[in-house]
Structure 1
C-alpha cells in the first residue's frame, strides 16, 4: 500500500521591507526656506506703518512689553510643537547677548535717535545694504571666499531696494546712525550663525527675546518709565502686532531660512522688506508707487532670481540629505 506524499502549502511572498523615510528633495527644502525668509521680511516691511504708531510711546516700556509677549508666545508654541529648547553654555551666552544687543537693542535705539537727523528713507537705504554685507561677510564667517555671482546679485538687490525706498535727506549725525542701523541688521543675522546649529531658530528666538525683555525692562526703570501703564490702546495694538508677527513669527521664519540657505543667500531676501512696505502702503489706501519704485521692484526680483539660483555649500546646521536626524549635542 502506497501513501501519497504530503503537499506543503505554498509560502506567501514576503513584502519587501519599508524604505526608511527620506528627507524632501534639496530643491523643495530650499524653496520652503526661501518662502520662510520672504514671509519674515514681508512682515518686517509691512510693519512700517504699525511701528509709526509707537512714535509717541515710552520707548523702553513698549519694547520690553513687545519682547516679553513675543517670548511667552514662542515658549508656548515651542512646548505645543514639542521643540526642545537648550540652555546656553560657554561662549553661546556671548553670541546670544551680541545678537540681542545689536539686532534688538541698539537697532531700535539707532532708529529713534537718528529720526531727528535723517529721513526714514535714509535708514531704509542703510538696511538695503544688508545683502551686500552678508554676501561678503557670510562666507568669510563660514571659512569660504565670497562668490562673485552672489555679490553681484546682492548689489542688484541693494540697488533695487534703494530705488524702492528713495534716498531722503540727512546730516552727518543721521548718516552715522544709519551706519549703526546697517551694522545692527548684519549682526542680527551673522552673530546668530555660531549658535543656530545647536539651538535652532526657536532657541535663538526665545533666548534673544527674553534677554531683550530684561534689558529694555531695566532701561525703562532707569528712564523712569516704570510699568507700561502709559501705553494707550493704540499703542497696545501696535505692540501686539509687533510681538506676534514681526518678532515671534518673523524671528523663527528668518532664522530657519538662515540655517538652511546660509547668511549670504538668505541676506538677499532682505530686499523683500522695502517692496512689502511699498505694496502695503498702497493696499492701505496710499498712492500707487511711482515708476522708479516699480523699476526698483523689478531689479530686486532680478537680483533675487540670480542669487537664489547660485548653488552654495550646505548651510550651518542643515539636516543631512539622507533624512537621518542630526547627532544630538
Structure 2
C-alpha cells in the first residue's frame, strides 16, 4: 500500500467512523421533524463547505451536463434524504439491527456492481474482503424482530447506501470532493424543505432544544462537512469498491458509541465482529487498483522504446 492509498484508507475509515457516531446522534432526534432536521443539517453543511470549494467552482458547475445534474439530484435523493428516511421508516416496525444488517451488505453489492458498470470482472480479493466485512457487521449488530414492511424499507436503505457511492463516481472527478459535497448538500437541503412543506405543512420545521441542537450540529459539522469530504477523498484515491469496504466500520463505531448515551452495550459479539471487519478491510485493500487506460498505454510505449 503506497502513501496515496494509505491516506485514502485513513480518510475513508475516519468518514465511516464519524457516520457510525451519527446513529447515536439520531437517537437524540427522535421527536424532531425528519424533514426539518435534514434541511438544517444539509443546509448548514453547504454553507460551511462553500468557502473551501475553490475559486473555479462556478466554472466547474457550469461545465456540468444536464445528465450530470440529474445524477447529483438522484445522489441527494437516494443516498442522503432517501437513505435517512428509509432507516427511520424501517425502525418503526423493525429493531435497529435489521436495517443495519442490510446496510452492512453494501460492500458486496458495490464490489459486484461497479465492475459490471465498468464492464470488467469483480476482483476476488475485494469481493472476499467485502464478505468478511458483511459477516463482521452482522456479528456486531446481531438480528432483530421485524416484519415485511421493515425488511422492505431496510432494502431501500441498502439501495441508498450503495447509491451514495456508485452515483458519485462519474461526477467526483470533474467536481472534486469538496465541491461535490457542497453541491449535493445544497440539493439535499432543497429537497428536504420541499418534502417537509408538502408532507408536514407548517410543522416541518421548529426551533430545536439544546440536546437537539447539539445533535444537529454534530451531524452537520462533523458527520457531513468533515465526513463527506473525507469519504469522497478516500473514494477518489481508493476507488468505490475498496472505499466501501470501510462502511463496515459504521456499525462498529455505532456499537462503540452507543454505551456513551445508554442505548446499547459492547460485548464479545461486537469485538469478534469488529475483528472480522478489520480483516475484510485489510484483505480487500491489498488489491492494487488498475491504472487508467491512458496510463497503461503510456507504460507500454515506454517498454517499446
TM-score normalised per structure 2: 0.89
Count of residue pairs the alignment pairs up: 292
Q: Which moved more, 1:176-185 or 1:89-98?
A: 89-98
Aligned mates of 2:203, 2:255 — CA distance in 1: 36
CA contact (8 A) 1:60 1:225 kept: no
Q: 2:75 aligns with which of 84, 99, 104?
A: 99
Tell me what 1:68 maps to: 43
Alpha carbons of 1:190 and 1:171: their partners in 2 closer, same or farther (altered >3 Å)? same
Tell me what 2:52 maps to: 77
Aligned mates of 2:286, 2:192 — CA distance in 1: 40
Tell me by how many angstroms 1:303 deviates.
Answer: 0.8
Alignment of 1:173-322 (within 5 A): 173-222=149-198, 223-225=200-202, 228-282=205-259, 289-314=266-291
Q: 1:112 aligns with which of 85, 88, 104?
A: 88
Alignment of 1:95-174 (within 5 A): 95-174=71-150
Q: Which moved more, 1:216-225 or 1:91-100?
A: 216-225
CA contact (8 A) 2:35 2:204 kept: no
Aligned mates of 2:203, 2:115 — CA distance in 1: 43
Tell me what 2:300 maps to: none
Alpha carbons of 1:30 and 1:148: their partners in 2 closer, same or farther (altered >3 Å)? same
Q: Which has the higher helix share?
A: 2
- Superposed CA deviations along residues 213-268 of structure 1, whole A, max 9, x for unmatched, are 11111122222145733422221221111001111111111111111111111110
Alpha carbons of 1:225 and 1:235: their partners in 2 closer, same or farther (altered >3 Å)? farther
Tell me by how many angstroms 1:275 deviates.
Answer: 1.1
Tell me by how many angstroms 1:127 deviates.
Answer: 1.2
CA contact (8 A) 1:261 1:314 kept: no
Tell me what 2:299 maps to: none
TM-score normalised per structure 1: 0.83
CA contact (8 A) 1:261 1:315 kept: no
Q: Which runs of 5+ in 2 are unaligned?
A: 296-305
Tell me by how many angstroms 1:315 deviates.
Answer: 7.3
- Superposed CA deviations along residues 188-230 of structure 1, whole A, max 9, x for unmatched, are 1000101111011112111111111111111222221457334
Question: Larger Cα Rg: Structure 1 or Structure 2?
Answer: 1
Q: Which moved more, 1:274-283 or 1:133-142?
A: 274-283
